[in-house]
Each structure stands twice: as structure tokens, then as C-alpha cells.
Amino acid sequence: MDDFDLLLALGAFALVASITPGPNNLMLMASAANFGLRRSLPHILGVALGFVAMIVLVGLGAMRAFEAWPGLRVALTWVGTAYLVWLAWKIARAAPPAPDAAPGRPMTFWQAAAFQWVNPKGWTMSLAALTLYAPGQEIAGVLLVAAAFAAVSLPATGLWTVLGTRIRRVLTRPERLRLFNRTMAVLLLGSLVPVFLH
């Protein structure tokens, strides 16, 4: 495989991994539907930059820890799963705000960046990308994988967030917003299925 084919394959992998439904994209769509695009921008940036940072750190060291202690990955998957179940519960129970209530808060930049470390799909994607496209974990290969995800992450997550803002226009009635949040919670739980099948 020459360099161009490798870059094309890596770009396609990063795009598919970033744009398919998963915890990040579903939570961004729910955030935009509940809080709007502007208030969800820190969440978008936290996902994009947090995941790129995770790829670099995993590629430069954490993969070796997983090779040395295989149980570490299993433990991390269960911690991430428990956290996602809790998030799904919070989303499902989110009630439409009362007219006189203080507005809720979307995820902050740092919360979204930290979430990448407990996101089972994020771990699966980063480990697969690094194994396929930077198998020797050389710095140049790891940075290339990170750059590919950096290039596609913002447009991919932005698309889901814009979709959430479009859905927001339909969610003007409290019962519709409740139904939407419960549907997002179920889809968030469903996004864990491929992790466990893998």
C-alpha cells in the first residue's frame, strides 16, 4: 500500500468512526436539541480535541499498558459502560424546564474532553486506528492518526449537533422533548452493543 492509499484508507476509517452513531454524537444531538448550538459549542470542541489528545496519549504509551495488562482494557470498558448507563438515565429523566426554572447546563469543554477516557466506543476506535495505521507506535504514525481524526472530527460532530438544532424546532411541546430524551437514552445504551460484540 503506497502513502496515498494509506492516507485515503485512514481518512475513510476516521470519517466512518467519527460520523457513525455513538455516545459522543448522540449526546451532542441531545445537547443541541435541549440547549441549542451556541451553548453546545464547548461540548463539540471537548469531544474533538479530547479525542485527538486521547489518540496521541494512547499511541505513545497506553497501548503498551494494555498489552502488559489485558485486564485493564476490560476494567476500563466496564467503568465506561457504567458511566454511559448513568448518563442515559440522566438524559431519560431530563424533564422540560419549568418556565421559571433556571436553565440546565450542557457539558463543558473539560467534561466532554474527560468523557473520551470512559467512552467505550472511543477506546475501541482509537485502539483499532492505532493498531491498523500506526502498528509500531512510532511518533510520526501516531500523529498521523491523530491528524486524520482532527480533520474529520469537527465536521462529523458538527453535523450531529446541527441535526439536534433542527430537531429542537419540533420539540416545542414538553411531551415531545420527553419522548426525544428517552429515545436518545435508549440509543445511547444501544451504542454499547457493538462494543460488547467486538
pLDDT, tens only, 137-149:
788 889 999 999 9
Q: What is the pLDDT of residue 60?
A: 85
Residue with the larger pLDDT of the pair 122 and 83: 122
Query: Which residue from 58, 26, 66, 28 is spatially nearest to 184, judged by alpha carbons?
Result: 26
Most distant CA pair in the chain, distance: 61
pLDDT of residue 149: 94
**Cell numbers at 135, concatenated:** 502498528
Average pLDDT over the chain, rounded to an integer: 83
Nearest alpha-carbon partner for 180 in 33, 11, 42: 33
Half-sphere exposure at residue 69, Cβ-oriented, CA atoms within 13 angstroms:
9
Q: Which amino acid is at 132?
A: L
Interval 62-110: pLDDT, tens: 767 767 777 776 777 777 778 778 877 877 776 665 555 555 788 999 9
Comparing CA positions, the residue from 191, 159, 158, 165 lying closest to residue 180 is 165
Contact 55, 126 (CB under 8 A): yes
